[in-house]
Amino acid sequence: MSDLHNPQVIPLWQAIKDRYIETGDLSAIKTVRVRLTTAGLALINAWLAHSRAPRLIARDGWARVPVERLLHALGPTADLTTILRDTVGLPDITQPRRRLAAMKSDFWTYAQTVLPETPRLLQHLRAGGLSEPAKEERQRLIDALARAHDLIPLQRPIPLPRLSFYCAADPHYFDLNAPGHGAKLVMLAAELQGEEPVKARSPHERVALLSRCGIYPDRISSTVITLHLDAAGDGPVDQALQHATATSRPVHLTLYDLTMFPPRFCDSGPVLVVENPSVVEEALIRRYPGPIACTSGSLSAVDHQFLQMLAHSGVNIRYSGDHDPAGLVIAEAVRTRYGADIVDASHLLPPDATVSNAVLYQEDHEYLAMLVGLDPSDPLATRH
């Protein structure tokens, strides 16, 4: 049938060939979606009319063509392999394994081209493997890292969400917490700075590394709450802490405060660091005189920066959190990373408590009394 070579239907054969390359099996191709001219669609409908099949309708120039019905309409001698060979040519690679190997080779060749200065990062990414379903997302990651690669070091400081949006059209793409890809960005920045691109860096190290490249994670929305925490320097944050200590007022320290105007903490005694703000509130009410700070639950970048600064200053950290699964994980992180002494409140647990059901919150009146002093006027100083 000479019409098979008509230029108006060549896009149909090319679409079938493309699907053949993807599947490696012509018999598995049931339909193809193809962009056709009006003349091309009319010609295909003319073929289908011989088999009394419904006419095809295009939407915005695109039509879905049923391959089996098309072959039936073309007659018993129609052979799809022959049609493809005579019109658009048969593909060189049709077997899925060979095609996948070729796809991987092309993908990593491209990645090496756009990330020429970070071979260790590429080695790490390649170790994660590559499959066809994951190719699109991996391509997006490579392209986002390539855009960051071309910018680092930045001409001036940029918030991390802006860089994420610029590189991946998503302000959370390079978030440092899962499911963000911040760990890959940190590895990229480390290698570009001539450092070892180690994936498992501490939160403090990640923030510091990105900051050296001009990339700033959120520095202002999260805070550490402090009370009676004195400082010995003469910078603006030192002065704020000194004045607040003199007037017994709490101070909210941001990551911006700690990195732009780092205070020099006084090593005048241990600092009690607690998990919950309600403990600081009770410390105010009970006029607790000692230095106390609150990280407000799970540790964020500002918390890690604060704890690291205390440790570097030689300040002894006493950490206290809820005695529940999440609180115990936080306490262990503070102990192992910053050398904190963990306040032991196990004697306050019920006698029949086990590891699996032992829960003690800092709002418990006995726990509060142990941390910030007994208050005879406390109206909640009884357990239910």
pLDDT of residue 53 exceeding 80: no
Q: What is the mean pLDDT of the chain?
A: 89
Q: Looking at residue 94, what is its pLDDT?
A: 55
Domain membership of residue 378 (yes or no) is no
pLDDT band with cut points at 50, 70 and 90 for residue 356: low
Domain membership of residue 131 (yes or no) is yes
Domain membership of residue 381 (yes or no) is no
pLDDT of residue 2 exceeding 90: no
Rounded Cα–Cα distance for residues 203 and 215 (Å): 14
Residues 78 and 101 in one domain: no
- 320's enclosing H/E stretch is strand 317-320
Domain membership of residue 377 (yes or no) is no
Residues 79 and 127 in one domain: no
Residue 227 CA neighbour count, 13 Å, CB half: 24
SS3 323: strand
Taking residues 332-348, what's their average pLDDT? 93
Domain membership of residue 382 (yes or no) is no
* Domain of residue 299, CATH code: 3.40.1360
Residues 171 and 268 in one domain: no
Q: Which of 216, 245, 271 is the last residue of a domain?
A: 216
Query: Domain limits at 252?
Result: 223-372
Residues 251 and 354 in one domain: yes
Helices (H), the chain: 10-23, 38-49, 67-74, 80-87, 96-114, 119-127, 132-151, 160-168, 182-192, 203-212, 236-246, 255-260, 277-285, 301-312, 325-338, 365-372
Residues 122 and 262 in one domain: no
Q: Model confidence over 190-222: pLDDT tens digits?
A: 999 888 877 556 777 888 889 889 999 888 999
Say which residue the tokens 């009370």 belong to: 227
Please state the domain count of the chain: 3
Strand partners, 66: 31
Longest Cα separation, the chain = 101
Domain membership of residue 323 (yes or no) is yes
Single out the residue of 76, 80, 82 nearest to residue 67, CA to CA: 80
pTM of the model: 0.64
Residues contacting 191, CB < 8 A, separation 6+: 117, 118, 119, 120, 121, 197
Rounded Cα–Cα distance for residues 334 and 306 (Å): 11
User: Quick one: three-class SS letters along 133-186?
Assistant: HHHHHHHHHHHHHHHHHHHCCCCCCEEHHHHHHHHHCCCCCCCCCCCCCHHHHH
Residues 235 and 355 in one domain: yes
Q: Which of 41, 59, 87 is the last residue of a domain?
A: 87
Say which residue the tokens 């391509």 belong to: 139
Q: Model confidence over 216-254: pLDDT tens digits?
A: 988 899 999 999 999 999 999 999 999 999 999 999 999
Residues 319 and 230 in one domain: yes
Rounded Cα–Cα distance for residues 22 and 81 (Å): 15
**Torsions phi, psi for 39 (to 5 deg):** -65, -40
CA distances, 349 to each of 361, 362, 379 (Å) = 10, 12, 21
Residues 154 and 169 in one domain: yes
Q: Which of 162, 188, 216 is the last residue of a domain?
A: 216
Residues 268 and 337 in one domain: yes
Single out the residue of 373, 267, 357 nearest to residue 316, CA to CA: 267
Q: Looking at residue 25, what is its pLDDT?
A: 77
Domain membership of residue 379 (yes or no) is no
Higher per-residue pLDDT: 358 or 2: 358
Residues 102 and 69 in one domain: no
Residues 169 and 279 in one domain: no
Handedness of CA 189, 195, 199, 203 (dihedral sign): negative
The CA-CA-CA angle for residues 129, 134, 137, to 5°, reads 115
Residues 347 and 233 in one domain: yes
Rounded Cα–Cα distance for residues 52 and 218 (Å): 65
